[in-house]
Amino acid sequence: MPAPKTKPRKPAKPSKPSKQGKFTRPDPKRVAEILKRLDATYPGATCALTYRTSWELLVATILSAQCTDARVNMVTPVIFKKYPTPQHFAALKPEELEPDIRSTGFFRNKSKSIVGAARKIVEDFGGKVPETMDELLTVPGAARKTANVVLGTWFKKAVGVVVDTHVHRISRRLELTGNDDPKSIEQDLMQVIPQSKWIDFSHQVIHHGRALCLARKPRCADCPLENICHAADKTWSTVDVHKWARP
């Protein structure tokens, strides 16, 4: 006789907070299991932006703010054909670039950032994207998230963890951080994730956020992390949920 079908459980009642407060440092064994399952689910995950050089990656990352990678990947081939090098961008006025990047949103600020970045790189770094965090942070448009993308993806330097909207949301759901601002979240992740995994972790979590751990209605029934995730906003759960573990 076939085994009777079991009904999916609804989210369980939230567990009580520990005496230490809402958030406690995650168990290293649980973190290792999360990393293991991400490796198995997203092997070889990398940046979804298309680029051929470190400069192109920097520009694409600046454009990706509040914009999908798919849209950015439609825009960048056009602008890189018109303006092949940082020197070409540096010669522009920001308003000349605006029409080409309008569809990515916030195009006026992005135009200023890209042209400013080109001028800074041409004037101060010999036309080459710098390879250190301190130097990259002096480039217009390159805040810490953008700098981490370029350093990790192009230069293969794990000096930090990319914290975008997906990493922010999922790190809180998985209780890898109790903080809400990107800078503090990055510092928390750097303490609990081995440095050798910083680059892969960000790429994998970003893929996970797009595929399963959605902002609204996460696909928990299909998630490989389901039974070690206690997020308060799970849509289906086989484990207790923690009311403080939310995006």
The single residue of 110, 120, 164, 188 carrying the catalytic annotation is 164
Distance CA 162, CA 144 (A): 8
List 18's β-bridge partners, or say none: 21
What 3-state class would DSSP assign to 68?
coil
What 3-state class would DSSP assign to 247?
coil
Q: 222, 223, 214, 162: which is closest to 193 by C-alpha?
A: 162
The single residue of 110, 120, 145, 234 carrying the catalytic annotation is 145
For this structure, is 110 an active site residue? Answer: no
C-alpha dihedral sign at 14, 240, 204, 135: positive
Q: What angle do CA 5, 11, 15 make, to 5 degrees?
A: 130
Q: Are 189 and 170 in contact (CB under 8 A)?
A: no
For this structure, is 145 an active site residue? Answer: yes
Q: Dig out the tokens for 219 from the structure.
A: 């696909």
DSSP assignment letter at 152: I
Q: Are 189 and 178 in contact (CB under 8 A)?
A: no
The residues assigned a catalytic role are 145, 164
